[in-house]
């Protein structure tokens, strides 16, 4: 059982929470806490096990927290995932392999692509693929078709595995803090298009990748995970792209794991990550 709490900080919170779980017969296996002092906000992720001795412990726990508290009690359900793609296969290929061998941490319900190129790859893994073309369509019509394609699968999260399309605020609002993107740059550097070309032109010595939640502001959502690798003057743009794909795959996999295990809490435009 995973218990995730976000609320106003106050004296005695940890003691109250621990006492309530103990009286319920639940053993705390792991308890992580963090306080944002500037905002007086308390964050905690608790992993507990055992059979509760009485049904009222959840109500007792809610009553012990400040009135505006966010409390989630998740018995580690299998989360449903939908992936949006364009033509690049490296991130999708990693997701398909992890799903095939049971290490993804979620059930891959479907893949939607605005080009048909990756359909054969999905079919090899017996994962439904829906081609939703964007060409010749207004963005509203395209996004409406995406939502119609997603509706039968009711995904808990969307992953943009190199989707390379900007989603409207109206679409993002349907999955607030549930759309995970991988950007081929160490944000906030080189946001937007062609970051490797931007990095090459700037002569940087480090490149990386960033996974973040999608918001209305392009490539500015709360960051979940990042990683960097060194480059030198000998690296051309093509070399950076090739090296960067490995980093993108690793960072996206790490971000998904953290999110699916309920280790990521969003506060304003940043994340609290209990690794």
Give catalytic residue positions: 219
Tokens of 134: 């964007």
248-274: b (≥16 Cβ within 10 Å) or e: bbbbbbbbbbbbbbbbbbbeeeebbbb
Would you say 62 and 26 are in contact if contact means Cβ atoms under 8 Å apart? Answer: no
| β-sheet bridge partners, residue 74 | 2
What is the distance, to the nearest Å, from the Cα of residue 229 to the centroid of all Cα atoms in its chain? Answer: 22
Residue 114's CB is within 10 A of a number of other CB atoms, namely 21
């Amino acid at each position: 059982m995973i218990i995730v709490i976000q609320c106003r900080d106050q004296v005695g919170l940890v003691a109250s929470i621990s006492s309530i779980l103990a009286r319920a017969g639940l053993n705390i296996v792991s308890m992580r806490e963090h306080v944002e002092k500037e905002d007086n906000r308390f964050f905690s992720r608790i992993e507990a096990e055992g059979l509760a001795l009485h049904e009222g412990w959840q109500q007792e726990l809610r009553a012990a927290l400040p009135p505006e508290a966010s409390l989630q009690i998740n018995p580690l359900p299998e989360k449903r995932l939908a992936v949006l793609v364009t033509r690049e296969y490296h991130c999708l290929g990693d997701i398909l392999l992890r799903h095939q061998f049971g290490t993804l941490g979620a059930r891959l319900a479907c893949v939607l692509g605005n080009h048909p190129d990756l359909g054969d790859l999905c079919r090899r893994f017996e994962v439904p693929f829906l081609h939703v073309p964007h060409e010749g369509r207004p963005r509203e019509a395209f996004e409406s078709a995406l939502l119609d394609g997603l509706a039968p699968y009711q995904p808990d999260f969307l992953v943009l595995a190199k989707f390379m399309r900007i989603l409207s605020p109206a679409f993002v609002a349907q999955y607030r803090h549930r759309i995970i993107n991988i950007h081929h740059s160490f944000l906030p550097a080189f946001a937007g298009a062609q970051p490797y070309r931007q990095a090459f032109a700037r002569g940087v010595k480090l490149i990386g990748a960033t996974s973040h939640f999608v918001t209305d502001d392009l490539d500015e959502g709360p960051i979940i995970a990042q990683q960097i690798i060194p480059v030198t003057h000998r690296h051309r743009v093509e070399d950076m792209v090739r090296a960067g794909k490995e980093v993108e795959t690793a960072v996206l996999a790490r971000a998904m794991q953290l999110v699916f295990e309920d280790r990521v809490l969003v506060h304003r435009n940043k994340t609290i990550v209990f690794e």
